[in-house]
Chains A and B, each alone.
Chain A
Amino acid sequence: MSQPLLEITNLGKRFGGFVALEGINLTVQRGERVGLIGPNGSGKSTLVNCVCGTLSNETGSVYFDGQDMNGLSAHQRTHRGMARSFQLPRPFGSLTVQDNLRIPLLYTVNARAHTAADTQTRSHLSPAEIDARCAELLGLVGLADKADKLPRDLTQIEMRKLELARAMAADPKLLIADESMAGLSQSEVADIVALLIKLNERGITIILIEHIMSAVMSFSQRLVVLVSGRKIADGKPEAVVNDPQVIGAYLGQ
């Protein structure tokens, strides 16, 4: 098997005396669609934050694309090819929808073009190319007619789409979507799932963190369950949801 894209070994994180994550091992292959579920407070978002560098992990290691991520800040990890969307959308409020996408294009795609360490020869985008890329991304998520709007004029689902488009603008290898569908209607959820699958077909590995089980089940090729900071299941979605331990954790023992 080829080298995995993401390799988390023995990851641990505490907040004071509270153990948020303990002994997490997780390997994600290139091109996979992984669902990550768990009850509230089980450490899903903490795991995302540790992987993305927003929080520093106390034990264990994160290898991404063959590189040790330890000690790299969040923006450096984004430069290496990780992208995330936030649980609550965090758009840049004073910038238009289009300019929101400009930030990762300017600071990740173009920054990558500068670093010689990158073996792939990516070229520096000109202002016209950046405009074109913005338009393309907005078309992809279905926000083409909202380019000049401010985020506060968007609806909830449009905000989620902007969040995903902005993560995609960084041209990532791995996209971590943290509850991209919370608070959306049934048909909107289907909309986002279809979008995520479309992104996956373009070769992007996706980890989806979600509470809405129908979405997780239709999206995931593999399902990982966190409970109280520990991984209790990892496997085929159908097998995982029928695992007595998982049912116990969700319904209470």
Chain B
Amino acid sequence: MRTPIFFIVALLCGTAVFGAALWSGNDYIFYAGYVVLHFIVLATAWNILGGYCGYVNFGSAAFFAIGAYSTIALHKLGTNISRYFPDAIAPVAELIMPLPIPVLILIGGCIAGLVGLGTGYLTLRLRGAFFAIATLALAVVLQTLVVNWEFVGGARGAYVIAPQTLSIGNFELRYIHYLAFIMIVLVVIAITVARLIERSRLGYGFASIRDDELAAEACGVPTLRLKLIATTISGALMGMAGAPFPYYINYLDPASAFNLSYGVNSIAMPMIGGTTSWMGPLVGAIIIATLQQWMTVTFSSEWGVLFAGALLIIFVILAPKGIVGHAQDFLRRRRQQAGANR
């Protein structure tokens, strides 16, 4: 299927799901669904670097938080324009603030993408466990910076009160519906990007890096440049997933923005779903995040992280190709058998 057609079909599917949720009349679906959706984006983003290139990033929370905190900073600027902007720019700022969420997503994505590029430049000479440790350190460093950055609330956290409804012309939309729909669009963008990479020259290059970096260089693959492209795209998508988060959660503190669950989940979901195809993170995220939402209301959210961790261990040992990988193997074997029987 060609990419534009895939994008439209995926968007139609997303809209259908959105419509079904609206029709059910239960708002809880949107609150839970938002979480599932933003994990799909995170898992897909992680997979571009972790699955396609083979570089395990433990610092997903950092990129997610960069997106979230860029929104908080911009929101804060918008609440007191006369104080933060010089008189000459204030009228312009007055006109555009508060920025609409799609713009915030773009800004969060750009900042996180730049941080991804910078991190890549500093750490991509490291391999394996050392790269993973470096990304973990990045999360710790950024969290410390945010804790000490008074403007975005420091350790106390910051409030971003979203309006109840959003009016577009004379059409009124509940804000959570609006956020969920934006997330659906973001999911469609993320999986389209992942699928596009997978089937392109870039995807082959990434796979060669994952399999054998030295041999890739010998085949003419500019490995450093490709890895930087991967960290940038991956970081940018994670930042985009984080940017609308303050409007969803309404109160954000460093402990929740840099929460362990982002690091663990964005690794566990693609690994469980399967890392070699765009479908893996999608399937993994839907299954894990949905079960976690159920656990959160049934037991507690801590159980959700434990569950993802335990499942990750089981899959890494028993089914390293993930659900999608093993399903593809099964189908291939069946096709071959059918071919042999004919």
| A→B interface (CB under 8 Å) | 52-54, 73-75, 78-79, 83-84, 86, 90-95, 99, 102-104, 106-108, 110-111, 166-167, 169-170
Interface pair B218/A92, CB less than 8 Å apart: no
Interface pair B204/A99, CB less than 8 Å apart: yes
A49 to B204, CA, bound (A): 24
A91 to B212, CA, bound (A): 8
Contacts of A103 in B (CB 8 A): 204-205, 208, 216, 219-221
A93 to B210, CA, bound (A): 9
Contacts of A107 in B (CB 8 A): 201, 204-205, 208, 219-222
Q: Is B276 an interface residue (CB 8 A)?
A: yes
Interface pair B214/A90, CB less than 8 Å apart: yes
Given A74-B217, A106-B201, A107-B205, does the pair A92, B211 have CB atoms closer than 8 Å?
A: yes
A75 to B276, CA, bound (A): 25
Interface pair A84/B220, CB less than 8 Å apart: no
Leading 10 A-B pairs by shortest Cβ distance: A108-B220, A74-B217, A92-B211, A78-B220, A90-B215, A104-B219, A107-B220, A107-B221, A103-B219, A103-B208
Contacts of B216 in A (CB 8 A): 75, 92, 103
Q: Is B119 an interface residue (CB 8 A)?
A: no
23 A-B residue pairs with Cβ-Cβ distance under 8 Å, sorted by A, are: A52-B218, A53-B217, A54-B214, A75-B220, A75-B221, A78-B217, A78-B219, A84-B218, A86-B215, A90-B212, A91-B212, A92-B212, A92-B215, A92-B216, A93-B211, A95-B208, A99-B207, A103-B220, A103-B221, A107-B204, A107-B221, A108-B220, A170-B219
How distant is B206 from chain A, measured CB to nearest CB, in Å? 11
Residue of B nearest to A176 (CB): B218
Q: Is B223 an interface residue (CB 8 A)?
A: yes
Residue of B nearest to A109 (CB): B220
Contacts of B208 in A (CB 8 A): 92, 95, 103, 107
Additional A-B contacts beyond A52-B218, A75-B219, A90-B214 (7; CB < 8 A): A53-B217, A54-B217, A73-B222, A75-B217, A91-B211, A99-B204, A106-B205
Interface pair B207/A104, CB less than 8 Å apart: no
A169 to B218, CA, bound (A): 11
**For chain B, what secondary structure do more than half of its interface residues adopt (helix, strand, loop), or is it mixed?**
helix
Q: What 1/0 mask marks residues of chain B from 171 to 211 whose CB sits below 8 Å from any chain A CB?
A: 00000000000000000000000000000010011011011
How distant is B118 from chain A, measured CB to nearest CB, in Å? 21
Contacts of A54 in B (CB 8 A): 214, 217-218
Please, how many residues of chain B have a CB less than 8 angstroms from a CB on the other chain? 19
Residue of A nearest to B225 (CB): A75
A110 to B201, CA, bound (A): 10
A53 to B215, CA, bound (A): 12
A235 to B211, CA, bound (A): 39
Contacts of B221 in A (CB 8 A): 75, 103, 107
How distant is B13 from chain A, measured CB to nearest CB, in Å? 28
Contacts of A104 in B (CB 8 A): 219-220
Cross-chain contact of B220 among A91, A95, A111 (Cβ < 8 A)? A111
A107 to B215, CA, bound (A): 12
How distant is B45 from chain A, measured CB to nearest CB, in Å? 21
Interface pair B276/A94, CB less than 8 Å apart: yes
A90 to B211, CA, bound (A): 9
Given A102-B204, A106-B204, A106-B205, does the pair A166, B219 have CB atoms closer than 8 Å?
A: yes
| B residues 219-258 touching A (CB-CB < 8 Å) | 219-223
Contacts of A83 in B (CB 8 A): 218
A90 to B212, CA, bound (A): 7
How distant is A84 from chain B, measured CB to nearest CB, in Å? 6
A86 to B215, CA, bound (A): 8
Interface pair A95/B218, CB less than 8 Å apart: no
Contacts of B215 in A (CB 8 A): 86, 90-92
Contacts of A166 in B (CB 8 A): 219
Given A92-B212, A94-B276, A106-B201, does the pair A74, B218 have CB atoms closer than 8 Å?
A: yes
A94 to B276, CA, bound (A): 9
How distant is B131 from chain A, measured CB to nearest CB, in Å? 19
Residue of A nearest to B201 (CB): A106
Residue of B nearest to A112 (CB): B220
A57 to B100, CA, bound (A): 55
How distant is B224 from chain A, measured CB to nearest CB, in Å? 8
Interface pair A79/B220, CB less than 8 Å apart: yes
Q: Which of A75, A94, A111 has the most CB of B within 10 A?
A: A75
Contacts of B204 in A (CB 8 A): 95, 99, 102-103, 106-107
Interface pair B218/A86, CB less than 8 Å apart: yes
A200 to B215, CA, bound (A): 23
A92 to B221, CA, bound (A): 13
